[in-house]
Structure 1
Amino acid sequence: MTVPNTPPDPARTDVRAVPEDAVPGTEPDPYAAPQEGAPVASDGPGTPLVQRLLPEVRIGAGVVVTCLVVGLVMAALWAWLAPKVPLVVDGDRILYLDPEGEQRAGADALFAIIGLGAGILTALGAFLVTRRRGGGIAVALGLAVGGLLGSLGAWRIGRWLGPGNDLIAQARRVGNGGHFDAGIDLGAMGALLVWPMAAMVVLLALSAAFGKREEDPPPYWGAPAAPQQQPSAPPTSPVGPEGRA
């Protein structure tokens, strides 16, 4: 007969009542090699580096391709709106019709203005598309590389779309006393950097003002203290009737 409130004997504990994961030796080893055919986690420290970088590479490549398409539009606008330098044929010479004109500087300024607008547009679009995932270094690199490549493409294609650069052929075509326009070109090569620099500044400003933020952890003095466990008293067996005097 067992005395009431007697603690169970550890030696007589039924093994069948112990759950399987509590039996020593049945816990999975976290450092063991994965078994063949076992599912592999999609992310985590064990994920291959290429698999983790693939989404970032796709986003960066998409931003670069978008900038190249915008560069085509920029080239067409520059070739259409840039002021042309008028020339005149005087015998065997080609002279400026307006020697004091500022058409060259106007073409540089227009290229910089269009590049500024392209930088703002691409940065705003990239931020809105990638805002849910928190942007990332891929967006910034894509805007920097894509903006520079887009500016180079707009410069090259704009020169090709504008008036021809073969002045002798054009002078022969119009004849003596004829007028024609010189090809457009950049005199200040720093205008090529306006697009990527504007995109970086706008992306930084948008990320600082409206970017995704993580919740700050509570300060250590405001965190609730962990409850302290009181030491439990050893169980005592009540004295039976036979133990009374």
Structure 2
Amino acid sequence: MTAPNAPETPQGPHPQSAGPVEPPTQWTLPAEPAKPPREIKREILTGAALVLGSALVGLLFGLLWHTFAPKVPLYSDGSAVYLRDPEGEQQIAADGTFAIIGACFGIVAGVIAYLITKKRHGGISVPIGLTLGGLAASWIAWQLGIHLDSKSIIALAQSTKVGQNFPRPLALGAKSTLVVWPMAALLTLVAATSLFTPRDGHPEAEAAGSAPARSQPEE
């Protein structure tokens, strides 16, 4: 029997009055999933392919530079060798030719790297491969271009008539042009990624990166 007008108590444990809930002092972030070994191997192969491919194209780079770069004219009086045009800009033009050819090849390399890696969003191996490959190609082109002129200045002067012009062996005056290829390749890759890769939240990105959720059966 219960006393009349007594308040009914709910069944089960009585709820305890709690004070204000303090926010947590730290949050644990979810750990990023590690890449599978197959993905790491594919990135390594991609970077190696970019380096080796660029290095091979460096041979063509050197041939083009040696063919189209202007040569500095020299002449000999029989005892010494002199510049025919001391104020000429042939050396600057030769450096500019090297930079222009390197920039063109760098742009092409950046476009190719973007096209072959855009479906899987590339990876750190792509810019590393473009950088190392561009430097290797530029170095190979430089060495090939200057070694295609087998004769030295003294040998050329001795085989040329006195007072007659002969070209000085090709040389690269501005060594900074060696980085034109990798810079052009990286800038092209960044521009192509920014312009043509769908960002997060874009319908194309969501369609490509996420699968449709399955509907749960109603109970």
- Where in structure 2 are there 5+ consecutive unaligned residues? 1-32, 207-219
Residue 110 in structure 1 maps to residue 97 in structure 2:
yes
Counterpart amino acid of 1:180?
F
Residue 90 in structure 1 maps to residue 48 in structure 2:
no
Q: Percent identity?
A: 40
Residue 208 in structure 1 maps to residue 194 in structure 2:
yes
Deviation at 1:127, TM superposition (A): 0.6
Residue 66 in structure 1 maps to residue 53 in structure 2:
yes
Query: Residue in 2 aligned with 1:169?
Result: 155
Query: Residue in 2 aligned with 1:76?
Result: 63
Residue 195 in structure 1 maps to residue 195 in structure 2:
no
Is the alpha carbon distance of 1:58 and 1:132 closer, same or farther for their aligned partners in structure 2, counting shifts above 3 Å? same
Deviations along 1:91-131, whole A, 9 cap, x unmatched? 21111111221100000111111111111000001111111
Query: Residue in 2 aligned with 1:12?
Result: none
Greater Rg by CA: 1
Is the alpha carbon distance of 1:46 and 1:190 closer, same or farther for their aligned partners in structure 2, counting shifts above 3 Å? closer
Kept in 2: contact 1:165–1:182 (CA 8 A): no
- Where in structure 1 are there 5+ consecutive unaligned residues? 1-43, 219-245
Counterpart amino acid of 1:102?
E
Aligned equivalent of 2:107, options 120, 129, 132: 120
Deviation at 1:54, TM superposition (A): 1.1
Deviation at 1:46, TM superposition (A): 9.1
Query: Residue in 1 aligned with 2:166?
Result: 180
Deviation at 1:173, TM superposition (A): 1.2
Across the aligned residues of Structure 1 and Structure 2, the Cα RMSD in angstroms comes to 2.2
Deviation at 1:174, TM superposition (A): 1.4
Counterpart amino acid of 1:92?
S
Deviation at 1:165, TM superposition (A): 5.4
Deviations along 1:157-201, whole A, 9 cap, x unmatched? 11112x345111111111423321101111111111111111111
Further displaced range: 179-188 or 138-147: 179-188
Query: Residue in 1 aligned with 2:126?
Result: 139
Deviation at 1:212, TM superposition (A): 5.1
C-alpha distance in structure 2 between counterparts of 1:52 and 1:125, whole Å: 20
Is the alpha carbon distance of 1:144 and 1:180 closer, same or farther for their aligned partners in structure 2, counting shifts above 3 Å? same
Counterpart amino acid of 1:197?
M
Counterpart amino acid of 2:135?
L
| TM-score scaled by length of structure 1 | 0.65
Aligned length: 172
| TM-score scaled by length of structure 2 | 0.72
Aligned partner of residue 168 in structure 1, secondary structure: helix
